[in-house]
Each structure stands twice: as C-alpha cells, then as structure tokens.
Amino acid sequence: MNLLWVYIGFAVVALLLVLLLARVVGNSQRRRIRKQLGLPLNSRLSPQEALAFRAFEDTDIKLKKSFPTMSDTQRRSMAREVLRDKGVIAKRKKSVPQS
C-alpha cells in the first residue's frame, strides 16, 4: 500500500514538471515574438499591440502549415511582411545614413 503512494507521488511530480516546462517554453516563445515585433517584453500590451501579437502568431502558424519545409527565419520574416502589408504592424523605419 505504501508503495502505491510513492508511485502516485512520482506521477504527480512528473506531471507538474511537464506543466512547468510547457509554461517556460510558451513564455520564451512569447518573449521572442514580442522582441521580433518590437513590443515591450515584460509588460501588458495595449489592445492594438495584443492584436498585432495574435495576428503574428496566427500568420506564423498558417505559414508553418502551408510551407513545412521553409526555415523558421524565412517564415517569420514573411509573416512580418504580411502583417505590414495589412497594416497590423508598423512599416519599417528607414534608417538615416549618418554622416
């Protein structure tokens, strides 16, 4: 009987570790996307920023399904361009040449 509780305890600990790992991976992906879009990393997003964030995630997922062999870098670049064309995220700022 005591051995049963040990197995249940190990199962609960393993489940918690899996959930914790999923949470950490999800947060790191959100931070990476926010950084790519130029959004604040650790603060609340405005409604417009949240819309851009969700649109980028959705577009990235759609492109991943449509082009499974495309590299992550190419797919994310294409997703940003699509959202810029739709006006969801700001156009690129042109760099001013320094003299």
Domain count, the chain: 1
* Model pLDDT for residues 48-69, shown as the tens digit of each residue: 878 878 888 888 888 888 888 8
Range of the domain at 23: 2-86
Does residue 92 form part of some domain? no
Mean local confidence (pLDDT), 22-48: 82
64 belongs to a structural domain? yes
Q: Is residue 43 part of a domain?
A: yes
Whether residue 76 is contained in a domain is answered as: yes
E strands, the chain, in order: none
Considering the domain boundaries, does residue 99 fall inside one?
A: no
Q: What is the pTM of this model?
A: 0.57
Q: How far apart are CA 37 and CA 54, in angstroms?
A: 11
Within a domain: 97: no
Question: How far does CA 9 lie from the centroid of its chain?
Answer: 33
Whether residue 93 lies inside any domain: the answer is no
Task: Identify whether 91 is part of a domain.
Answer: no
Whole-number pLDDT of residue 92: 62
- The tens digit of pLDDT for each residue in 80-95 reads 888 788 777 766 655 5
Classify each residue of 40-70 as buried b or exposed e, where b means 16 or more C-beta atoms within 10 Å of its C-beta: eeeeeeeeebeebbebbeebbeebeeeeeee
